[in-house]
Structure 1
Amino acid sequence: MDWDLSSQPEIVQRAAGYAIQGWELASGWLLSPAAWSQFALLLAAFVLAWLLTKRLRPVLERILTPDASSTSILSTIRRFVLIFVPLLLPLLAWIFTGIGEQVTRSLFGSGAVIAFGKRVFLFIAARILVREIISEPFLKVLGRYILLPIMALYTLGILDDSITRLNEMTISLGNISFSVMALIRGVIAGSLLFWLGRWSNDQTGSYISRQEEMRPATRQLAQKAAELGIFGIAFLLLMSIMGIPLTSLAVLSGAIGVGLGFGLQKIASNYISGVILLLEGQATVGDFVELDNGEAGTIVQTTARAMILETFDGRWIVVPNEDFITTRVVNYSDQGSANRYEVDFSVSYNTDINLVPDIIEAAVSKHPEVLQKPYPPDCELRGLGDSGVDFAVEFWVNGLDDGKNKYTSDVLFLVWNALKDNGIEIPYPHRVIEMRTPKTENIG
């Protein structure tokens, strides 16, 4: 074919050149006995792989499927290997095709057709891997938009040329210069490294959280240290993969230092305060704390920047770590510590008040949550009021008088019933109203 395309745009000429090359290659394959023999070997390799897969797959699935209740390491390995069984057909076809390639190259000195077929089987394996095996959404996105396009270029035999062209294209940012290929490699490697870092951090955090012999604050500090170490190593590996020397980051480090000195000093202060809190264990997850501004709640989560409190009405309060260091915080430590509460009540002036303390203390002691140590219930005379004699009963309990616990309400019921059972009157306000009428003068 001899077409005159000199008047056409360059892109049209280039596309036509590629089309002519493809046509010549295809016609050479179609008219060559060696090519037909390679096609026949490809077909034979696929049929043999299909027949072998048909027999092997049920056997492998039966061997690799463990009991549903088994949690041993061997069972975990078997389940992991089982998910790769769908790759059996393309991998067997690739192996048989590779054997056929050696045969054709020894007989005809050429194996381009069968080598192309072998790459096709690898592309099919990659497609099955992405569509059927990978379940993690992030890895599935990487496979769909990165792995499959790379495998397509490899199958067509233009991967090396594409890499060469991308290596020749460079990008400069100040004193840092890198190629487009390095950028692409960094994006791919960075995505995989930080996904692997996140997975490793989750596994490490889960392992540390199961160590019951460690204090809660120590466990949290160990988790934070492991997180910093994992992602720090991932960052250094990424810089090495992209070919960026760490000395080139001096300007960036200086900018970060200036930022810390001005706009980021609060973030740095909160982070350091969080480390101090974890080391000293002054406040940790599960503690009930009251802030200097009157807000109170249970610490449900600690982060590098703040602590999250949950109030009894379900609200979450994000408190910067610095506030726990620089302001007054009352820690009720709702982790088995005892707290004292009191209930006020009054009795009538007609009551023999000497009997009241024993009656009330005995009644309050019946509550299953009221403690006898460090002190048993104590009923005290507080004053002589306008309408009655004022008393208060003090009692100790483990926990807080709110949320699921209603100690004050329960004790008030006990006080009420004890007074009623003993015929003691609970007073109510009395008011004396004096009516005066003006005197009238007699006129007469």
Structure 2
Amino acid sequence: MEQFTNPDQYAKWLEQAINWLSANVLLIPILIQIVACVAVIIPALLLRSRLEKLLARLQKWKPFLQYAGFRRFANVLPDLAFPLLLVVFVWLLDAIAVQAGYRHNVIRLIASLLNAWIVIRLAAAIVNDPVWSRTIAAVAWGLAALNIVGWLDPTIEILDGLAMQVGEFRVSVYGIIKAVLSLAVLLWVASFASRLFEQRIQKVHRLTPSVQVLMAKLLKLVLLSVAVLFALSTIGVDLTALAVFGGAVGVGIGLGLQRIVANLISGVILLLDRSIKPGDVIAIGETFGWIQSLGARYTAVHTRDGTEFLIPNEDLITTQVENWSHSDVKLRLKIPVGISYNCDPHFAIKLCNEAAAKCQRVLENPGPNTLLRGFGDNSVDLEIRFWIDDPQNGRGNIISEILLNVWDAFKEHDIEIPFPQRDLHLRSGDAPIKIEMSSPQSPPQTPKPDGASQDA
């Protein structure tokens, strides 16, 4: 504790710092590198505004507007105009120093730090997942630190030396790390490219929705397969050896993955025969709704109450499906209505047609038509028939609207809507019938033995 209160100790520390700076920093080669790095700041500042305007134009480019990751990437680029220019000039200084045979350790240090910082900023803008962002940041700073201290090449040699021989194939720690990083990058690039192609395919109106989905799925599968093959080739895997692996996978599919493969094949069949497509209104079993999307394994059906059912594709192939918009979006609905026998059915039919015609969703051609279906036990049975061309908007709401219009019209013109009635006929016999009304508080009465009175 006394050393912190002793002024001589501070003087000693200051002298040691000056000696270290004199021996390691205040050297002419190092000072020249520092001055050169500071000097390139001037042209970077002069060109900053022009590069910012050039990078800002990317924000109006359509591919950047269609993808959220590209939009974030385009928004952050103008802010990186100065660091991008600075790192370019610093790397030019490093190349000049290497060609001239001068020392360039400080220049390489500054360039590595700038590279790591730019990569982290761009990764944070493109990758929305915080876990992946932190992973990319850790890898970038780790590589920069190894490169700064000169341990990058020795570290690679050490990791490559930790290997084992599996038959004719050599597996090393460095190869595994390189394969994992390559696979992650290639899968991300393949997924990103497939989304871009899918957006472009959806704009080709000459293709039906089913063909658009099929092409997008096949393209994504091809890109992901190519990414995996490239990742395997980076570690020296002989791709011809995959034939044996493919045979083993085929046996596994035949034994344990029958339902999964059946759903995959059913999905391809649905896309090819175009029996259903996104936007179709279907009913399968007790599920009614419109198709939200067609997946490789299942089809998403969205109902009017907000529930989304994931129906396996095999069920859509093997069971009966009602497709209300397969070849024609027009749909006829029927509403049963009953009137009293005391009312005029001709006038009631006219009122029903007018009530249905008031709704905007009901088509004028063919217009609504009300038929007399029969004479029921309690009412004259009518049926309102009408057509709509937007089944995706639901049927319950249009039926409710028409029934409300019928109710108002019947009330206005005194058309009676009957309810079930029953006539009770009592036939007197030899024994008299006595009806007694007892209050809830009174105890139940015991019937007489001779059966002279009964409760009804």
TM-score, with structure 2 as normaliser: 0.77
CA shift in 2, pair 1:65/1:136, >3 Å: closer
2:360 to 368, 378, 394: 368
Q: Is the 8 A contact 1:45 1:97 kept in 2?
A: no
Q: Is the 8 A contact 1:365 1:377 kept in 2?
A: yes
CA shift in 2, pair 1:168/1:336, >3 Å: same
Name the structure 2 match of 1:380: 371
Residues 76-99 of structure 1: CA deviation (Å, up to 9, x unaligned):
999786434313334423433543
Name the structure 2 match of 1:191: 184
How far has the Cα of 1:248 moved from its partner? 2.3
Unaligned runs of 5+ in 1: 1-25, 106-110
Name the structure 2 match of 1:214: 207
In structure 1, how many angstroms separate the alpha carbons of the residues matched to 2:331 and 2:277? 18
Name the structure 2 match of 1:23: none
Tell whether 2:108 aligns with 1:116: no
How far has the Cα of 1:269 moved from its partner? 1.0
1:99 to 82, 87, 96: 96
Name the structure 2 match of 1:281: 274
Residues 286-327 of structure 1: CA deviation (Å, up to 9, x unaligned):
112121x32222211211101011222221211111111111
TM-score, with structure 1 as normaliser: 0.79
Matched residue of 2:104: which SS?
A: helix
How far has the Cα of 1:219 moved from its partner? 0.5
Q: Is the 8 A contact 1:286 1:334 kept in 2?
A: no
Q: Is the 8 A contact 1:278 1:284 kept in 2?
A: yes
Tell whether 2:40 aligns with 1:49: yes
Name the structure 2 match of 1:321: 313
Name the structure 2 match of 1:88: 85
Unaligned runs of 5+ in 2: 1-18, 66-70, 433-456
Could you tell which deviates more after superposition, 152-161 or 275-284? 152-161
Matched residue of 1:370: which SS?
A: coil
Could you tell which deviates more after superposition, 303-312 or 149-158? 149-158
Matched residue of 1:220: which SS?
A: helix
- Matched AA of 1:99: I
- Matched AA of 2:90: A
Residues 302-358 of structure 1: CA deviation (Å, up to 9, x unaligned):
111010112222212111111111111111128961112222222222233344434
Name the structure 2 match of 1:269: 262
How far has the Cα of 1:45 moved from its partner? 0.7
In structure 2, how many angstroms separate the alpha carbons of the residues matched to 1:323 and 1:190? 35
Name the structure 2 match of 1:231: 224
Q: Is the 8 A contact 2:162 2:173 kept in 1?
A: yes
CA shift in 2, pair 1:78/1:153, >3 Å: closer
Could you tell which deviates more after superposition, 360-369 or 320-329? 360-369
Q: Identity of paired residues, percent?
A: 29
Matched residue of 1:371: which SS?
A: coil
Aligned residue-pair number: 402
In structure 1, how many angstroms separate the alpha carbons of the residues matched to 2:415 and 2:40? 96
In structure 1, how many angstroms separate the alpha carbons of the residues matched to 2:395 and 2:382? 27
In structure 2, how many angstroms separate the alpha carbons of the residues matched to 1:440 and 1:248? 100
Name the structure 1 match of 2:119: 130
1:349 to 315, 324, 341: 341
Q: Is the 8 A contact 2:276 2:323 kept in 1?
A: yes
* C-alpha RMSD of matched pairs (Å): 3.4
1:149-228 alignment to 2 at 5 Å? 149-172=142-165, 176-228=169-221
In structure 2, how many angstroms separate the alpha carbons of the residues matched to 1:132 and 1:254? 45
